[in-house]
Structure 1
Amino acid sequence: MTGKGSDPVLSTGLASVLPVNPKPWWKTPHLLTLNGYIACLVLFSSTVGYDISLMNGLQSLDQWQLFMHRPTGAWLGFINALQSLGSMLFQPVGAWSANRLGRKRTVLIGYIWLALGVGLQVGAPNANMFVASRMFVGIAGAWFQAAVILVTEIAYPSHRSLVTAIYMCQYYVGSLLSAWVAFGTRNLASDWAWRIPSLMQIALPLVALPGTLLIPESPRWLTRQKRVKEARDILVRFHAGGDEGSELVAFEMDEITQSIMLEQSANAESRWVDCVKTPGNRYRLFLSVSLGFFAQWNGGGVVSYYLTMILDTIGITSVTEQTLINGFLQLWNLIMSVVGACLVDRAGRRALFLASTIIMLISYIMITALSGSFNTTGTAAVGTAVIPFLFIYYAGYDIAFTPLILAYPAEIWTFSLRAKGVAISQMANYGALLFNQFINPIAFEAISWKYYFVFLVVLLVVLVTVYYYYPETHGYSLEEMAVIFDGELARVTDAVSVNMERREKRVGVEHAEKV
C-alpha cells in the first residue's frame, strides 16, 4: 500500500485517497483478513486444472481402463469433453445466479453440484455413471465462476489487478495435485487406484470453504440491491480498518453509486441483449469472445492435451521421460503464470499480451522447424531440441493468457453485465476447448507436425488483433474503466470529486461551528 498520490498504477483520483500506511498489507489486520478470504476464493480455479490433469492421469491407469472398458476415439473424446460441455452450457445460468442471488451465494451453490459430481464419480458402479458424473463436475465450474467476480469486486483497490490475475494461476495448483495423487495411487490393486484421485477433486474446494463462508458479499452487488449501508460497512471494515471517516471508502462508495445510477439512467439492465446494444458493449463483447478463443486456439491445446503424441513424433517414447517432462512442464507453468500475474500492473495488460504472443509465435516457428527436420533426418538431437522451445512457448502463454483470461473480462464490463461478460468469455473458451479435444487428435494423427502451421497462422491473427484492438486498462478503478469503452459520458470521477469537495466543505463548516 502506498501513500497518497504516489501509486504509479492507479488513477490520480483513487491514488489521492489511499491512506498512508507504513506497514505492508500482511502486517495490517484488516487487509490480512480480506486477502486471506480472497486466497480461499482463488482456489476455485484449481478445479478445472485438477479435472483435466485427472483425466490424463486416469488414462494411464490399467484399473480405470478396465473399469471403463478401454475407451478410445470419439467415445474417449466425449468423456474428456463432458466437463467442458457442462460448464459451457451452464455458464448463462451461473451468470443469472450471480446477478440475482449474489456472488457469494452462487459460489456456495457450486459446492452442491461438485459434491454430486464427485459422489457419483467415486461411487460409480459402472462406466455410464462415471460418464454422467463428468457433467455435474462441469456444471459446478459454471457456478464457481462467480468467485473471480467476487474477488474483483471486493479486493482492495491497489491489490485488485494482482489478486484477480493470480486467480487463474491456481489452475496449475490443481493440475499438479492431481498428477501426484494419480502417481501415488497407481500401484493399488483395486479400483481405489482411480477412485481416490476422483475423491480428491473436492479437496481444494473444501480448503476454500471456511474463507468462502466468512467473506462478505460484493459491496457493488449490495449497492445495486439498495443495501447501501451494508455495502459501506463492508468497505469500512475491510478497506479502511473500521475508520468511518475514511476518504477512500467515501470515494469508493461515490464511484459505485454514481456508476450504478448512470447504468440505470441509460436503461442498462442485466439482459443478454444489452451486451450488443451499445458500441462500448459490442467492443467489450469482441474482446471477451476473442480472448476466450485465443486462449485455446494458439497451439496450446495440442501441447497440453497431446503432449505424449508430440513427444512421440520427436522420438521421445519412454514413459518415464514423458511423465518427467510433463511434470516439470506443469511446475514451470505455475511459476511463469505467477510471474505474469505480478507483472500485470508493472508492464500493463497490453504489453503482456503482445509479449506473450510474440514469444509463442517465435517458439512455435522453432518447434515446427525442428519437428520437420527430425521427421526428415531422424536425428535424436534435433528432436530433443524441441523440448526447451516447448518450455519457452509456455512461458509466453503463461505471462498473459493464464492470469488475464478471466481478470481482463471481469474488469472491462460494467457491474450489471460483469457476470454475463465473464460467462461469455468462458463459453468462447470452452467452445474452443471442445474443438481442440475433438479435432486436434484427428488432425495431428493425419498430418503430424505439419498441423503446427495452422497455429502459426492463428498466432499471427492473435498478434494483429491484440496490437490494434486490445486497450490498456491498468490504472483504472472498475468504475473508471467505462471511460475506455463508453467515452467521457461514462466518467464518474468528476461527480465523485464534486461530492468529495462538498463533503470537505461540510466538515469544515461543522468544525468551525464547534469552535
Structure 2
Amino acid sequence: MFMAGRFFMGFGIALISSSQCIGEISPVHLRGRMVGFFGACFQIGSLAITGAMIGLSNLPKNQCWRIPLILEAVFPAVVCLIIYFWIPESPRSYVMQGKRERAKQVVAKYHTTSTDINEPSVDIVVTQMEESLENDRADYRSFWDYRVFFTKVARFRLLVLVLYSIFQQWNGGGIITYYMVPALETVGIKGTMQQLGITLGSTAPYFFFTAIGSLLVDKFRQRTLIFACLVSMMIFQTATTITSW
C-alpha cells in the first residue's frame, strides 16, 4: 500500500506549481528569498508529523501509525481548502485568457509597493508575459513531441537540469532519512521514542540551514551558489563516508 502510495504521489508532486506561483506573485526584490523559504517550509511539516508521532507513540500498535497517517492526509487538505480563497490567480493565467487588466491588478498588488496599475513596472512585467506566451504559441508543438528537448538550444540546458537534479538527490539526506532506523539499530538504539527523537533532532538543522540558504540566494551569484553547494556536499558526504567505516 505504501509503495503504491509513493508511486501515485510522485505524479501529484510533479504537478505541484507552488514554487512557480510564488515566483510569479512575489516582488522582484523578494522573489529569491520567498521561493527559497518555500523549500525550507517542507521541514516544518516534517517536524510537525515527527512530533505527532512522538506524542502518539504510546497508543496501541496499529493506532500509533494510523493516526499520524490520517493527520498527514487531513491537515494538508484543510490547509488547501483554507488558502484556496486567499491565493491570487497567476497573472500569466489571466494573460493567457486575454484578461490583461486583471493581470495588471495582480502584478500591481503583489509586485509593487504602491499597488498602482499605472506604474511602469506593471506594464513591463505583463508585456514580458505576453511576449513569452506569444513565443510559446509560435513554437508550439504537440504535447507528446519530445524533439524540442533535443534541439541545439535546449540540449545543454537539459543536460544541466538532469545532472543538477541527480547531484541534488545524492546529497546524503535520502540515505539518512530512509535508513535511519536500521542505522540506529546497528549502534544499539532500538527504542521507538529514542529513534523518533533523533529523527526530530536531525530534521531541525535541515530547516535551520535551508532557511539561512534562502536568505543568501539574492546575496550571491547563482552560479557561485550552485558550485559552492555542490563542492560542500561532496566534501561533507566524503567525510561522512570515511568516518562511518
Bucket of the pairwise TM-score, normalised by the shorter protein:
0.7 to 0.9
1:53-452 map, 5 Å = 79-88=1-10, 90=11, 139=12, 141-143=13-15, 145-189=16-60, 191-201=62-72, 202-240=74-112, 241-265=114-138, 267-269=139-141, 271-272=143-144, 273=146, 275-276=148-149, 278-313=151-186, 315-319=187-191, 321-372=194-245
CA drift of 1:323 comes to 3.5
CA drift of 1:80 comes to 4.3
Q: Is the 8 A contact 1:268 1:274 kept in 2?
A: no
* Residues 35-73 of structure 1: per-residue CA shift (max 9 Å, x gap): xxxxxxxxxxxxxxxxxxxxxxxxxxxxxxxxxxxxxxx
* Residues 330-377 of structure 1: per-residue CA shift (max 9 Å, x gap): 0011111111111111123322222222222222222222222xxxxx
Quote the Cα distance in structure 1 between the aligned partners of 2:228 and 2:188: 30
Gaps of 5+ in 2: none
Quote the Cα distance in structure 2 between the aligned partners of 1:316 and 1:337: 31
Quote the Cα distance in structure 2 between the aligned partners of 1:166 and 1:360: 20
**What is the TM-score of this pair, normalised by structure 1?**
0.43
Distance 1:190 1:276, change over 3 A: closer
Q: Is the 8 A contact 2:181 2:195 kept in 1?
A: yes
* Residues 448-504 of structure 1: per-residue CA shift (max 9 Å, x gap): xxxxxxxxxxxxxxxxxxxxxxxxxxxxxxxxxxxxxxxxxxxxxxxxxxxxxxxxx
Q: Is the 8 A contact 1:222 1:231 kept in 2?
A: yes
Quote the Cα distance in structure 2 between the aligned partners of 1:274 and 1:245: 41
Gaps of 5+ in 1: 1-78, 91-138, 373-515
* Residues 175-229 of structure 1: per-residue CA shift (max 9 Å, x gap): 1111111111111237433332122112144234332222221111221232222
Q: Is the 8 A contact 1:162 1:345 kept in 2?
A: yes
Distance 1:244 1:326, change over 3 A: closer
**Equivalent residue for 1:42?**
none
CA drift of 1:321 comes to 4.8
Distance 1:149 1:304, change over 3 A: same
CA RMSD of aligned residues (A): 2.5
Quote the Cα distance in structure 2 between the aligned partners of 1:253 and 1:186: 52
Q: Is the 8 A contact 1:274 1:281 kept in 2?
A: no
Quote the Cα distance in structure 2 between the aligned partners of 1:156 and 1:274: 35
Q: Which has the larger radius of gyration?
A: 1
**What is the TM-score of this pair, normalised by structure 2?**
0.84
AA at the equivalent of 1:349:
Q
AA at the equivalent of 1:239:
H
CA drift of 1:309 comes to 2.8
Quote the Cα distance in structure 1 between the aligned partners of 2:140 and 2:219: 33
Q: Is the 8 A contact 1:275 1:285 kept in 2?
A: no
Quote the Cα distance in structure 1 between the aligned partners of 2:80 and 2:195: 32
Distance 1:356 1:244, change over 3 A: closer
Question: Greater relative contact order: 1 or 2 (C-alpha under 8 angstroms, separation 6 or more)?
Answer: 2
* Residues 428-467 of structure 1: per-residue CA shift (max 9 Å, x gap): xxxxxxxxxxxxxxxxxxxxxxxxxxxxxxxxxxxxxxxx
Aligned pair count?
241
Q: Is the 8 A contact 1:316 1:322 kept in 2?
A: no
Moved over 4 A (4+): none
Quote the Cα distance in structure 2 between the aligned partners of 1:353 and 1:180: 32
CA drift of 1:277 comes to 5.2
AA at the equivalent of 1:164:
V
Percentage of identical aligned residues: 25
Quote the Cα distance in structure 2 between the aligned partners of 1:255 and 1:371: 52
Q: Is the 8 A contact 2:40 2:207 kept in 1?
A: yes
SS of residue paired to 1:186: coil
